[in-house]
Amino acid sequence: MDDDSCVVARLPTSIAGPPRLTTNSEVATMTYLRSRLTLPISRVLDWSDDPSNPIGTEYIIQEPVTGAPLHQLWPTMTSEQHMLCTKALSLAMKEMASLDFPAYGSLYFSDAPLDSARKIHLEKSFCIGPHCGSIYWNRGPREIELYGDSSPDCGPWKNLERYCQGLIQTGFSRLPKYAINNELLPHQGSNQEHIRLLNTSQSILQHLIEDTRVQESATPTLLHPDFHMRNIYVSIEDPTVLTGLIDWQSTSIEPAFTYVNQTPDFASIPEDFEEDTFQDERDPKQKQKEYKDALIYICIKGFAPKLRPARLLDESLFQLFRYSHTSWRDSATALRQDIIDLSSRWDELGVSSSCPFSPSREELGQHARDYEDLEIVRGLKRWLRRSLGTNSDGWVENEGCVSCGL
């Protein structure tokens, strides 16, 4: 600016989410949280969700955050600083999770460009409307061409049953509208197989939502959608102090159990960590690092009381809630594996009703072959991520773009 001050100007991309709603929801979310929490969220100075404005596009102009991205400072921080920073982040998660909501969906301003039937009043100038996550809107490359329009049920949802109906309807909406079987690998599955698995998932979900333990774990909860080091800013002088949380795009209100398996990258427990890790002959510094990583993992998972009921339950109870609506993206074999795992442990997990899925020996044999192929593909993807230094979404640090050939 002419007076040497700075602002951040942001424009949405075509894959960000539904036009107008994505921008409205992000600004509403930041404004709502700033008014009710003590989190360091940037103030929005001006915004527009109307592409017919003089600029010709939606935009958000906001104050810049101070400090530096956590991923830049984390490698040089001491163990004590790691723990204190993790505590601050855990308390931030607890503060977010303390908010109560009457429904699932995304936050909007009350005057958002939505039909009144798609708004649930929250308070003052806010409401809960359709989920603005891109998974419900087919906004990725070729998705509209491949799948057609958005899901017929993007919310908002007043209860868990309606939420599950939205998941299944979204799963059906993301099946290709024309045959592409000749392009598929065996583990991906045909349209017909996905339809069968989605119908099975719907039956199983109906049984699960009748379980009081699942109901108690499904409290509507809002947390940051991408709580990783690149979106967390800390003080350069004291990196245990949070100075900014950025990128609130596609924030949503979900059942609490949705967040239980989501671990920020700074709190990821080592993949090979076991209780007897410290009994081996590995380098003491390496063992100390793994122990610290385990403590950070436990710390970040333990602070939000709203998530505790779900943490007490087995993860298998929640897998279908998380992945049934993305079966085409993840493959029929991946969804079938979740269904088989759940059905094989149905009685052990204490679900009172009978499981509506019982695979034959032939089906299990074919699935084992498909699952072996899927694991090979997953292994290749893991190798590529490690080799390119990316996360599962393909994100690469600026410094790593050259080495990746970008």
SS3 at position 103? coil
In percent, the amount of the chain with pLDDT more than 90 equals 66
Residue 280 pLDDT: 53
Pairing of strands 106-109, 126-129: antiparallel
Q: How far apart are CA 195 and CA 324, in angstroms?
A: 11
Residue 64 pLDDT: 96
Residue 3 pLDDT: 74
Q: What is the mean pLDDT of residues 159-188?
A: 88
And the tokens for 46? 């001006």
pTM of the model: 0.89
- Note whether 63 and 10 are within 8 A (CB): no
pLDDT above 80 (res 114): yes
φ, ψ at 305 (rounded to 5°): -60, -30
Residue 277 pLDDT: 46
310 vs 104: which has the higher pLDDT: 104
- Note whether 246 and 67 are within 8 A (CB): no
Q: How far apart are CA 142 and CA 15, in angstroms?
A: 10
Q: Which residue has the tokens 């596609």?
A: 250
Per-residue exposure over 301-339, b if at least 16 CB sit within 10 Å of its own CB, e if not: bebbebbebbeebeebbbbbbbbbbbbbebbbbbbbbbb
Residue 75 pLDDT: 92
60 vs 395: which has the higher pLDDT: 60
Most confident by average pLDDT, 277-286, 291-300, 314-323, 393-402: 314-323
Residue 24 pLDDT: 98
Extended strands (E) in 241-328 = 242-245, 253-255
Instruction: Report the chain's mean pLDDT, rounded to a whole number.
Output: 88
Residue 203 pLDDT: 98
Count the Cβ atoms, other than its own, within 10 Å of residue 33: 21
Q: Which residue has the tokens 């400090």?
A: 67
Residue 150 pLDDT: 77
Q: What is the mean pLDDT of residues 198-214?
A: 97
Q: In this predicted model, what pLDDT tens digit does every residue of 243-280 receive, in sequence order?
A: 999 999 999 999 999 998 877 777 665 554 454 544 55
